[in-house]
Amino acid sequence: MIEEIRSLAVLLKPGRIGRQASLVVIGDAINFSTGIISSMILARLIPVDMMGTYRQIMYLTPMAVSITELGISSTVYRFWNFYNERQRAQYARILTIVAFSLGLAASAGLALIAPLLSVWFNNPDLKNALLITAAYPLSTIPLMLLRPVLLSQGYSLKATLLETVFSLFSILSILTPLLLGAPLTTALSIWIAVSLLRLAVFPVILRSSLRAPGAWWDRQIVREVWEYIWPIQVGRLPGYITSYLDKVVTSLFFTTTEFAVYSMGAREIPFIGYIGFSVSNVLMPYLVDDIKQQRFQQAFARWSKACERTALVTYPIAAFCCWHAVPVIQFLFSATYTESSVPFRVFAAFTFMRVIEYSSIAKALGRTDFIMRLSFVNACVLIALIFPLGWLLKGLGIALSLLIAAVASSTYVLHAYKKLLGVRVRTFFPWPRLAALLAISFAATGASSLCAGTLFSLDAHAGVFMLGLNLAGLFVVALVAYGVLLLLTGFVKLSPRQRG
C-alpha cells in the first residue's frame, strides 16, 4: 500500500506545479479534517432537532454564496497574469467593488427570505438562526478572491496558511460558546462576527492594487471578464442543482430531526473522495502537452494509470466504510445518528467513481461543451429520480438518486470520449481492472471482519475511544488482507530488492 502511494506521487511529480498542487491539497485536507472534527463535537453537544437547524444554516448560506458570487473568483486564474500592472490594478479594484456588492445583495436576500424558508421547511427556529447568519455571504464572497490571487502570484504556502487559519478560527468561534453552555443562537452570532472580522485581511493582501493610481472602473475589462464568465456560469447551473437539490428536498419534506439524520450521513468520505480531482489538476498540464504534441497514446496511458493508482489507494477505504457504515457513523457522531449510516453507505460508494475528474480530457482537448453536457445529464437524471425514489425510500432513495445520476453522467462522458477519440473505453479508462480492485477491496474487508471481528468488537456501548481503536485495528487487518490479495492477483509485484 505504501509503495502504491509512493508510486502515485512519482507518477504525478511535476516540479513546481506539483509543489503548488501538494500545498493546495494539504490545505484542503486540513479544512476537511477540521470540518469533520467540528461535526463530531457538535453531534455530542446539541440535540438532534437543533442539529437540523444548524445543518440547514450550513447549506443555505453557502448556497447563497455559490449562486450570487457569479464565479468572479475563478476569473482571477485567467486574467491576473494576463493583464499588465496597470490593468491588473484596475481589475482588482473592479473585483473588489463587485465582490462586496454581491455579498451585500446576497446577505439582504437571505434576511428577506428567512421567514419564508422557516415556514416552508416547517422549522420555526430557522428564522432567527438565518437572520443572525444572513451576513455570511458578505463575509465570504470578497475573501474568495484571496486564494486565487495568492496562487496566481505563486504564493501557495500563504494561500494554504490563510485558509487554514480562517477554517480554525471559524470552527473555534462556534464550538467554544457551545462548550461553555451558550445557546446555538449565541454561538452563531459569535461565529458570524468572527467571519466578518476576517474581512480586515482583504485590503492587506490587495493593498498594492488598491493603492495604485488609476480608475476604479473600466468598461473594457468588465466586458472581457463578463464574456469569459457567463458561459462558465451557465454551465455551473446544473452543478448547483446536483449540489443542493437533495438538501432542499429533504428540508421541504422531512422533519427537522429527519433532515439532521440524513444530512449527517449524506457526506462522502472526508478528503478521500477528492484525491482523484487533485490528481487530475496535477495531470492537466501534461495532458494538454501530450495532446498538443499529438502523443495521444501517452495521454491515454497517463490518464488510465492515474485512475488505477488512485483506486489502489482509495478503494479499500471506501469498501471498509461501506461495509462498516454503522460503527463508523457511531464513532463519528454517536449512536444517536445510527440511521445516518444509510445515506453514508451510499455516499461512501461515490469514492469508487472518484478515481479521476472525468471532464479533464475534455478540458485538455478544449471541448468545454462536453463538460456542460456532463453537468446537464447529471442534473436531468437527478431531477427525474429524486422525487419518486425519495417518496418510496426516503433518505436512502434520495442518496441513491444522487449516485445513479453521477454514474449516468460519467458513463455518458466516457462514451462521448470513445466516439470522439475513436478508441475503446478501456484504452483510457481501465474499468476491468477497477472492477477487479473493487472486488478485491470488498473481499479484503469481508475477510478481515470474518477473521478479526471477534477480536475487534464494534459495539458502540464500549465507548467512542474503544470503538475508534477497534475500527482502526480492524482496518489495519483489512489493509493487510488487501495487500496480500493484491500480491496474489498480480496487481502489485515485489521488486527484486523487496524479495531479497
302 pLDDT above the threshold of 90 = no
C-alpha cell recorded at residue 291: 495532446
The set of residues, in sequence order, having a beta carbon less than 8 Å from that of 108 and lying 6+ positions away, is 134
397 pLDDT above the threshold of 80 = yes
| Helices and strands (H and E) in the chain: how many | 25, 0
Query: Position 87: which residue type?
Result: Q
Determine the average pLDDT of the residues in 254-277: 87
pLDDT for the residue 27 = 60
- The Cα–Cα gap between 280 and 14 comes to 12
Contact in structure between 148 and 76 (CB atoms under 8 Å): yes
Domain-by-domain residue ranges, the chain? 45-234
- The Cα–Cα gap between 66 and 106 comes to 10
430 pLDDT above the threshold of 90 = yes
- Sorting pLDDT into bands at 50, 70 and 90, what band is 5? very low
69-98: pLDDT as tens digits: 888 887 887 777 777 888 888 888 999 999
pLDDT for the residue 17 = 47
Query: Position 260: which residue type?
Result: A
C-alpha cell recorded at residue 70: 457569479
pLDDT for the residue 38 = 85
What angle in degrees, to the nearest 10, is found between the helix axes of 256-265 and 341-349? 30
139-172: pLDDT as tens digits: 999 998 888 888 777 777 777 788 888 888 888 9
pLDDT for the residue 30 = 66
pLDDT for the residue 6 = 44
Rg (alpha carbons) of the chain, rounded to whole number: 24
The set of residues, in sequence order, having a beta carbon less than 8 Å from that of 352 and lying 6+ positions away, is 311, 315, 318, 434, 438
- The Cα–Cα gap between 439 and 446 comes to 10
C-alpha cell recorded at residue 470: 477497534
pLDDT for the residue 12 = 42
Using a 10 angstrom Cβ sphere, with 0-12 exposed, 13-18 middle and 19 or more buried, the burial of residue 191 is buried
- The Cα–Cα gap between 27 and 160 comes to 5
The torsion angles phi and psi of 79, rounded to 5 degrees, stand at -105, -20
Q: In which region does residue 325 sit, left (phi positive, over 0), alpha (psi from -120 to 50) or beta (all else)?
A: alpha
388 pLDDT above the threshold of 50 = yes
pLDDT for the residue 26 = 62
- The Cα–Cα gap between 467 and 457 comes to 8
Residue 23 to residues 7, 29, 74, Cα–Cα distance (Å): 19, 10, 19
Determine the average pLDDT of the residues in 363-384: 81
Query: Position 132: which residue type?
Result: I
Instruction: State the alpha helices, DSSP H only, in 334-367.
Output: 341-349, 360-365
306-348: pLDDT as tens digits: 889 899 999 999 999 999 999 999 999 999 999 999 999 999 9
What angle in degrees, to the nearest 10, is found between the helix axes of 431-452 and 464-489? 130
What angle in degrees, to the nearest 10, is found between the helix axes of 325-333 and 341-349? 110
29 pLDDT above the threshold of 70 = no
